Amino acid sequence: MAIYSPQQSARARVQYWVPSIAAGAVSWITFLVLGETPLIRASGLALIVVGMALALRHMGAVLSVVGALALAFCPAFWAQTGGAEMLQPLEVIAALAASLVGGVLVVTLSKQRFAALAVGVIVFGGLFLIAVGTPRSLRMTTLLSAWMLYLLIDGLFAANPRPDSPPTGQLGHQHTYGTLLLLAFGVLNDPLFVMFAPALLLALFLSGKRMPLPYWLVLLAAVMWGARGLILLYVDADWWLFSVDMAKSQGLTVPFLLAEGWREPSRWLDMITLVNNQFTPIGLLLGLIGLSRLSRWYPPVGVVLMLAFATFGLFGLLYFGADASVLLLPLLMLLIVWMTYAVYAFSHWIRRAVKDRPAASVLKWLAPAAFLLLPLTLLLRNVTAF
pLDDT recorded at residue 306: 95
pLDDT one-digit tens code per residue, 317-343: 999 888 888 899 999 999 999 999 999
Cα distance between residue 326 and residue 290, in whole Å = 23
- The percentage of the chain sitting over the pLDDT mark of 70, rounded to a whole number, equals 78
pLDDT bucket at 105, cuts 50 / 70 / 90 = low
Cα distance between residue 137 and residue 146, in whole Å = 14
At residue 50, the 3 state secondary structure works out as helix
Q: Which residues contact 244 (CB under 8 A, 6 or more apart)?
A: 258, 260, 261, 263, 264, 267
* Mean of the per-residue pLDDT values of the chain: 82
Beta bridge pairs of residue 320: 254
pLDDT bucket at 127, cuts 50 / 70 / 90 = low
Mean pLDDT of 136-143: 82
pLDDT recorded at residue 280: 85
135 CB burial (10 A radius; 0-12, 13-18, 19+):
exposed
pLDDT one-digit tens code per residue, 355-378: 666 666 666 778 888 899 999 999
pLDDT recorded at residue 366: 83
Mean pLDDT of 161-190: 78
The domain spans of the chain are 10-86+134-384
Mean pLDDT is lowest, of 6-10, 179-183, 350-354, 372-376, for 6-10
Cα distance between residue 2 and residue 16, in whole Å = 8
Q: 96 near 43, Cβ under 8 Å?
A: no
